[in-house]
Amino acid sequence: MKIKTGLIGFGRTGKAVASVVLQNKEFSLEWVYRKTTVLEHRSVPEFLGLQSDEPGLIFSAEHISIPDLLDHHPVDVLIDFSSAESIHIYGRYAAGKNIKIISAISHYAEAELTLLNELAELTTVFWSPNITLGVNYLLFSAKFLQHIAPGVDIEIIEEHFKQKEGVSGTAIKIAHALDLDISQINSVRAGGIVGKHELIFGFPFQTVRLIHESISREAFGNGAIFVARNLLPLPSGLYNFEDLLRPYFKF
């Protein structure tokens, strides 16, 4: 029996995540819920040209409410790749039905964080602004090395496509976690580079580099699957990616 999944949001990343869930053998894509009516009632497998016997129907918030959706098309897990407001729409009803919530929203304001904590008393809630395994592993391992060698020089290089504006949010998050100054982030913008983050640890007589290279958005789908799989056995509470990685440290 597959674990039933509902996806909130169907932008570029949402589509990539849907494609990964559809092709996964443990999780089924029951439906996608989105704001607009674009593609409403279409089937995701058919839209993406993928063979699948999972329903994957696209519903629009304009024509069906969350309670109706969750009552008639029940799921075990909700994955949210939409925008910050959505949690207000589905959060309480889903938590009340003990559906697990996985949010990959980039940024939440105070109000949403308060709500997440409330929901976490009823069900298992997860939030990470970057849900790829690679970036979270990098962050974790970097903190570990900094614990071992507190005085080591650290610099970050992040490379992205020419049009990307501002410093990468992931780089900023890493700099923050390592207590670096924003000036220690070097931003390269060139051509069509999908995304590369390099952490340089400079010792007097040796150099350690931790590098993450993005190939495509589907990495977010695999990250969501990893989170879902590790979240299932956990009791209610609010979790982040570090909470899920920690138990793998068994030496």
Do residues 29 and 16 make contact, with C-beta atoms less than 8 angstroms apart? no
Short-list 7, 17, 69, 5, CA closest to 220: 17
Residue with tokens 């982030």: 185
Q: Please, which residue, 109 or 190, has the CB nearer to a copy of itself?
A: 190
Q: Does 212 bind a copy of itself (CB under 8 A)?
A: yes
**Residue in 10, 130, 214, 225 binding a copy of itself, rule: CB under 8 A:** 214
Q: Which two tokens stand for residue 128?
A: 């990470």
Among 50, 129, 137, 236, the residue binding a copy of itself under the rule CB under 8 A is 137
Nearer to a copy of itself, 123 or 130 (CB): 130
Q: How far is the CB of 147 from a copy of itself (least distance, A)?
A: 4
Least distance CB 222 / a copy of itself (angstroms): 6
Question: Residues 84, 208, 234, 238: which binds a copy of itself (CB under 8 A)?
Answer: 208
Q: Which is nearer to a copy of itself, 78 or 135 (CB)?
A: 135
> Secondary structure of 134-166 in the HEC alphabet?
HHHHHHHHHHHHHHHCCCCEEEEEEEECCCCCC
Burial environment of residue 10 by CB neighbours within 10 A (0 to 12, 13 to 18, 19 or more): buried
Note whether 93 and 118 are within 8 A (CB).
no
113 binds a copy of itself (CB under 8 A): no
Contact (Cβ atoms closer than 8 angstroms) between residue 161 and residue 131: no
Who's near 49: CB < 8 A, 6+ residues apart? none
CA atoms within 13 A on the CB side of 25: 0
Return the SS3 of 189.
Answer: strand
Rg (CA), the chain: 19
* 153 near a copy of itself (CB under 8 A): yes
Asked if 72 interacts with a copy of itself (CB under 8 A), we say no
Q: Which of 50, 89, 145, 234 binds a copy of itself (CB under 8 A)?
A: 145
Q: Is residue 46 a contact residue for a copy of itself (CB under 8 A)?
A: no
In the bound state with a copy of itself, the residue whose beta carbon lies nearer, of 122 and 193, is 193
**Binder of a copy of itself out of 31, 126, 201, 239 (CB under 8 A):** 201
For the segment 221-240, give every residue that binds a copy of itself (CB under 8 A): 221-222
Q: Which residues bind a copy of itself (CB under 8 A)?
A: 132-134, 137-138, 140-141, 143-145, 147-149, 152-155, 157, 159, 161-162, 186-194, 200-219, 221-222, 242, 245-246, 248-251
